[in-house]
Chain A
Amino acid sequence: MTMKKLLAGATLALGLATGAAADGHEPTTVGFVYVGPIGDGGWTYEHNKGRLAVEEHFGDAVETVFVESVPEGPDAERVMTQMALQGADLIFTTSFGYMDQTINVAAQFPDVKFEHATGYKRADNVSTYSARFYEGRAVQGHIAGQMTESNIIGYIASYPIPEVIRGINAAYLHAKEVNPDVEFRIIWAYTWFDPAKEAEAANVLIEQGADVILQHTDSTAPQAAAQAAGNVVTFGQASDMAEFAPFPRVSSIIDDWAPYYIARTQAVIDGTWESKDTWDGIGPGMVGIGEITDAVPADIKASAEALVERLRTGEYHAFTGPINRQDGSVWLADGEIADDGTLAGMNFYVEGLTAEIPQ
């Protein structure tokens, strides 16, 4: 179906291009490369919602094409090349593991604009964009630290990359702030999307005493596992996952890519597109906090909402000192705020986390 859609989109684009080129109104073609299936209910689902928003916003002026479940590796390069050859003007590659492939393909197609999600390598025709998910994770940690009774919080992590480590640190710091006894148990799944493995990881954490599960993987399997266990709190990841509300899902981090995708597509149409790095959080609305349900006691809910508000206005930064590194060395002095460079390349745990980051 995906391939058919891609081909249909490309054919249509070609047909319209030849027919409409004379008056200069050929439709702009925007391509999306997804790491998971659009029906994953999490990460890719939200990117695809962004794509649909682009289609709706521009109507006939824009054609979108997408390929889903593209493995992070050489095959991604083939998919991107194919998209560029078929006339895409702008290509969004939506996973960290596409970083080098995006740079490689972009070098071969200087006229095509590329946008890579969550990476740090740029070129004249490659922008990067990401959301400050750690702001959302700070809120989750704040709630999680107060909701746990066993003081053990389980964390299903995907790959040991800065984005994920940043999330763990942000959640831990804010859980620790409200509950000094809290302890994190971290499992690296080495996958973004494998429901069976995520379910198993959640069960293992529950068996080891965790009564709150945070996740940085894309499926809703941990929510289902928590629901089966009966008394375990979870949060929606990337998507609202409201089907598990009001319990076990008590809140969520929502990625809202639609405004960004529309703005960047508009920039290509206007010819004003230039390579830049975008990293937006709760304030500009790229990170949304899903409704905190009534399963959370009112006072915790109120303080969590206050935290969201302080993050939104920029009054408070999720990484504000004093914060030490895991080995006890000082990272941020009292009142000091982390700079984006350190956050973007974060490869260490903060003090108090007991495990080691896999190398």
Chain B
Amino acid sequence: MDLSSINPILLLASLMVAATPILLAAIGELVVERAGVLNLGVEGMMITGAVCGFVVAVATNSPWLGFIGAAVGGALISMIFGFLTQFLLSNQVATGLALTLFGLGLSALMGQGYIGIKAPAFPDWHIPVLGDIPIIGPIVFQHDPMVYVGLALVAAVWAFLRYSRAGLILRAVGENHEAAHALGYHVVRVRMLALMFGGACAGLGGAYLSLVRVPQWTEGMTAGAGWIALAIVVFASWRPGRLLLGAYLFGGVTVLQLNLQAAGAAIAVEYLSMAPYLATIAVLVIMRAGRAPGSLGQSFHASR
């Protein structure tokens, strides 16, 4: 075993990159769930975003337009879910699972002509001055722009939910949609907007895989990242700050176990793989903060 070959700075830096796709998808799902909707279709929205982003980026030769395309694609497919659950009052769990299967199939179909093509390059930012700070510079300030977009989104969602009137309305709709309706808020409209945001974020997360992390289009390339994003929302007990912590924990354990293996450490991979899930359970037990929004997963119809 040669632990000295693990560079802690590179480890921390790659942790931020590894966590970004699940962070993006999870922050969107957090908003959706705070609005009282349980959308289990994150995986389907991610993979749709991955293919939409890739197609647009290749067509325009611009990764930025690719990310915009991914957000639009994710938002569009989430509108299918929104229409079914909010207007036709279909079961949210079943519809979400169906959305995942639909997304996987649709993306495979859309991506057929794009196998083996390379995405346009999306270079890392070397932020002047800050990037040159010893130790902290390479960890925090030398990433591709989407890492910072993810962090900014978490901060924005946090501020939105905590300080804005719209955030208060969204939380009210999620806690008690009957009461929010009685106060005159448009429950379905709020939820549709939240779903659209959630879909766009999941799409960005998927495109991060196909444009930055991998970067290629291959069928099924999200490989369960959407489900981890869902788990992180629960881990975070629906709070943006803890969501960031959770995503970095999951990303960190993934990168750490790969590093330990490469260094020849004799720690069974299985233990490391289960570590984030054990941490989730421990957090839920110790912090007893895992109270879900009151109306989570329930259908709402104004006439009731």
Contact = CB atoms under 8 A, between A and B. Distances in A.
A200 interface: yes
A205 interface: yes
Interface string B260-285: 01111010110001000000000000
B17 to A, nearest CB: 8
A207 B263 contact: no
A208 B219 contact: no
Interface residues of B, number: 42
Interface of A is mostly: loop
Contacts of B259: 204, 207-208
Nearest to A227: B118
Contacts of A196: 21, 209, 213-214, 221-223, 225
Contacts of A185: 262-264
B6 interface: yes
B103 to A, nearest CB: 14
B127 interface: no
Interface in A62-86: 69
Contacts of B109: 1
B131 interface: no
Interface string B85-124: 0000000000000000000010011011001111000000
A195 interface: yes
B48 interface: no
Contact of B116 (A38, A203, A205, A243): A243
A294 to B, nearest CB: 20
Interface of A: 1, 36-41, 69, 154, 185-188, 190-191, 193-197, 199-201, 203-205, 207-210, 219-221, 224, 243, 354-356, 358-359
27 contacts: A1-B109, A36-B220, A37-B108, A39-B111, A40-B219, A41-B115, A185-B263, A188-B269, A190-B273, A194-B224, A196-B209, A196-B221, A196-B223, A200-B18, A208-B5, A208-B259, A208-B262, A209-B5, A210-B262, A219-B216, A220-B216, A224-B118, A224-B214, A243-B116, A243-B117, A243-B118, A355-B264
Given A204-B259, A208-B7, A219-B214, 14 more contacts: A1-B108, A39-B112, A39-B219, A185-B262, A196-B213, A196-B223, A204-B258, A208-B5, A219-B218, A220-B216, A224-B216, A243-B117, A243-B118, A356-B266
